[in-house]
Structure 1
């Protein structure tokens, strides 16, 4: 690696922001179409195809854009000020993710604390007699106000089996990643590779168990996106978290490839640190999910 650039590096005009915009817009539109057609029980939905096209755009953007950033970094074009900018940028990105999940947790809290009891007739805003006279609110909502429109699930997922196992897996992955980070700081590259690879294995295992859990929920428990507010909040929170675990696993896999190619040392390791921050954030979100979605 050459000596760091003395001044703030300003890259040339790039196509990647435009491709990112196209990919994100297409993916969100495809996902919304997919969910709407699913709720309408349409079997000929184009949502999955549109979502996949958007995903390919995003994959192409990520590969190309981050590849360009890595080349610039390896060429020594980044100064200390640029490093601080990257750190602030990643910090604000994680903060935006905190707000993203806060919105869904807020919706869950509002339903459980206010809207649900009101529909059941509790409090000054109770409207049970106006809408569903026989509805009694109990969380988790296994008896929906309108069972014909929103068939209720048979039962909820037991938190002390797969969810608990997944909690152990993710907490363990934070420990293994921290050990890998310390190995990088002390130049122990063999340990770094081993512990980082183990972290990736734990992340993939988590995703596998979550897929098993989803199959069980749909096929055996009747717990779906269309099974009332409990089903929708459950799958929105756990599903988006699963997407974040997938992204974090990909990030760690890229870090492993870079480490195998000799990248990073005790002084230049922000790419690894950024991926680590993201992974620890995802782990903290899962602990909150386990407590507020599965247990309480």
Structure 2
């Protein structure tokens, strides 16, 4: 009996071959083509964008449904659980590198490029020849004043509110996790819905912030290097918050259906890891992009 249990515990479940990963790749490629054509003023129409979004949602729904069914049917052994944990850890590491590249670009512009154009660091020839009179300052849309004059968003306004929202969401999802481990399912569900609400409120305020920036501050993606780095960093973070909020809602609905056990709930934990990562990235954005 012991030998049989050991073999069952060490068994690695391998699903049947599926076309879903390939179809999702096609959807993502079409989405990139559609969005990039829009930014390059050669818009191909709404079909590539919305068609790829619809296809992607369908594939993700089918894929997640399959994974949920496999998990609830007991096909995931401890070795599969370890694999998922390592996979999620490496995924979050790749996300750290993703945002690290953008933070690095911002650092390069602020600390090196703009000062060089202003003549610092023995770059006097560049300064005198190309941009005489340009002074190093941040925020800046460059010596050519690309996009015209603009105003920035004060850190201790909407960004501070959003910081409080995400910090609070980190607390609520932690309380939900402890409730799940203590077999308090109702409390876990309530704390999870609170986390979803906080994430959705964050997104609402970010949309309002973008509308205010475009309509009243003349701060757009065309506002030189500041506008491009601002929307690149905050925009990608907003995408991650959107995906995280959707995942939180899915996990909460699964909890309401009776999924996850106090001693076996990596689907919950993986989403919690991701959400804490999103919180930490926002703290860096608040300090570096809005405050400093």
* Bin of the TM-score, shorter chain as denominator length: over 0.9
The separation in 1 between residues aligned to 2:226 and 2:23, in whole angstroms, is 36
Cα drift, residue 124 of structure 1: 2.2
| Alignment partner, residue 132 of structure 1 | 131
TM-score (norm 1): 0.92
Cα drift, residue 257 of structure 1: 0.6
| Alignment partner, residue 10 of structure 1 | 14
TM-score (norm 2): 0.94
| Alignment partner, residue 279 of structure 2 | 283
| Alignment partner, residue 69 of structure 1 | 67
The separation in 1 between residues aligned to 2:47 and 2:231, in whole angstroms, is 21
How many equivalent residue pairs?
Answer: 285
Contact 2:114 2:142 in 1 (8 A): no
1:249 aligns with 2:253: no
Tell which deviates more after alignment, 280-289 or 4-13.
4-13
Cα drift, residue 155 of structure 1: 1.1
1:31 aligns with 2:35: yes
Which has more helix, going by share of residues? 2
> Residue deviations 1:24-73, cap 9 Å, x none?
21222222222222xxxx7xx23654333222222122111111111111
- 1:215-226 matches, within 5 Å, as 215-226=211-222
Contact 2:150 2:223 in 1 (8 A): no
The separation in 1 between residues aligned to 2:75 and 2:12, in whole angstroms, is 8
1:166 aligns with 2:170: no
1:90 aligns with 2:88: yes
The separation in 2 between residues aligned to 1:34 and 1:156, in whole angstroms, is 26
Q: Which runs of 5+ in 1 are unaligned?
A: none
Task: Name which of 117, 120, 133 aligns with 2:115.
Answer: 117
| Alignment partner, residue 263 of structure 1 | 259
Contact 1:32 1:47 in 2 (8 A): no
Contact 1:5 1:76 in 2 (8 A): no
The separation in 1 between residues aligned to 2:34 and 2:115, in whole angstroms, is 34
The separation in 1 between residues aligned to 2:101 and 2:59, in whole angstroms, is 27
Q: Which runs of 5+ in 2 are unaligned?
A: none
Root-mean-square deviation (Å): 1.6
> Residue deviations 1:224-277, cap 9 Å, x none?
000100000000000000000000000000001100100011122000000000
The separation in 1 between residues aligned to 2:96 and 2:53, in whole angstroms, is 23
Contact 1:179 1:195 in 2 (8 A): yes
The separation in 2 between residues aligned to 1:54 and 1:252, in whole angstroms, is 23
The separation in 1 between residues aligned to 2:38 and 2:59, in whole angstroms, is 23
Runs in 1 of length 4+ with deviation above 4 angstroms? none
